[in-house]
Amino acid sequence: MQSILDISPSNYVRHKIHSQERDWAETNCYVDVWIEQLHALKQEPIAAMPFTLTADFEGDQWTFFKFQLSDLQALYGIEVQELVVWRSLILHIEEQVKLGRPVLVELDSMYLPDTAGTAYQREHVKTTVSVNKLDINARYMEYFHAQGYYSLEGEDFDKIFHLTGEKNGAILPPYVEIAKLHDMRHPAQNELVETSLSLMKQQLLLLPKSNPFIAFKQRFEVDFKWLLEQSIDTFHQYCFVTFRQFGACFELAANYLNWLTNNGQQELEAATENFKQISEMTKVYQFQLARAVSRGKPLDLSVLDKMANCWEEATQLLLKKYC
């Protein structure tokens, strides 16, 4: 057994973001897995969330928001590098885990037991996990994914690493990253906050040049008519790259500003509330959209104007205070 952290799925305690009542229980696979990986390393992941402030409408989707690798190094001394898969994936993972490096790898949810009830043994869905323990001989792995820490073994192990059957040249190597922990540090709270504030000020300079909700509303008017003619699977995919992305992102932005408030920053309550309102309105609106599509009825778009106003007020308050 190769292992990095001495933990087990039976006694692992999630980060508070994944244990408290939320509008969006999950965000996206990359952010969720880093939240738990950092938490297990006894780091505070919320400090690395200035990236949540810069979400934008990208034309056919919203920004797939992610932890910034440079921020992880600045805050915690964690260096993340891409791993080139030039031989068997499982051998790469074994070697890196042996070196004490978490391996973030794209795998197929079809064989991840923690996705039971959604993708497990139902459909092929790409997702990112972080491997913490691996035993090739025992066909066993423990990994961070979504909201927690899990294990898989046996047939799932064989299938997720393509260890049985003939080689399929059409299966391309996944994207893999390694987290190098040799320079990892645990800064004092005041240093963590100051570094995080510095990173936030850099992110504020990268805010969208125009209100992304205005652009999204214009596109959504066209997309809604198109969605009426699409399958339920297409509807869910559309919601994931639009409403789910910005709803979850701005809830995390509210969490980040609240963390700053709890660590001595003042006059952030209004901005926090505006981001939180976007999250809450988006969750409700997504349900309304589902009903409208299923019944073929029109949908009130004025809530997107309210979101635009919330975004404008929140970002202007932050710019005035920090830039």
Q: Per-residue pLDDT tens for 235-294?
A: 999 999 999 999 999 999 999 999 999 999 999 999 999 999 999 999 999 999 999 999
Q: CA 16: distance to chain centroid?
A: 15
Q: Residues 93, 215: one domain? A: no
> Domain for residue 68, yes or no?
no
Please state, in angstroms and rounded to a whole number, the distance separating the CA atoms of residues 127 and 104. 10
Domain that includes residue 235, residue range: 189-322
Which of 155, 180, 205 is a domain's end point?
Answer: 180
Whether 238 and 258 share a structural domain:
yes
Q: How many CA atoms lie within 13 A of 152 on its CB side?
A: 24
Tell me, yes or no, whether 208 and 110 share the same domain: no
- Same domain, residue pair 123 and 204: no
Per the structure, the count of domains in the chain is: 2
If we measure between CA atoms, which residue out of 24, 60, 56 comes closest to residue 282?
24
DSSP β-bridge partners for residue 119: none
Sequence-separated (6 or more) residues with CB below 8 Å from residue 235: 227, 290, 293
| Predicted TM-score (pTM) of this structure | 0.95
Does residue 280 lie within any of the structural domains?
A: yes
Note whether 133 and 194 are same-domain residues: no
Same domain, 154 and 274: no
Return the DSSP state at 66.
-
User: Does 243 lie in the same domain as 128?
Assistant: no
| Residue 69 in domain | no
- Judgement on whether residues 201 and 263 belong to the same structural domain of the protein: yes
- Is the same domain home to 91 and 8? yes
Whether the CB-CB separation of 145 and 28 falls below 8 Å is answered with: no
User: What Rg do the C-alpha atoms of the chain give, in angstroms?
Assistant: 21
Identify whether 73 is part of a domain.
Answer: no
- pLDDT per position as a tens digit, 163-212: 987 677 677 899 999 999 999 999 999 999 999 999 999 999 999 999 99
Coil, strand or helix: which one is 231? Answer: coil
Nearest to 186, CA basis, from 43, 5, 40, 36: 43
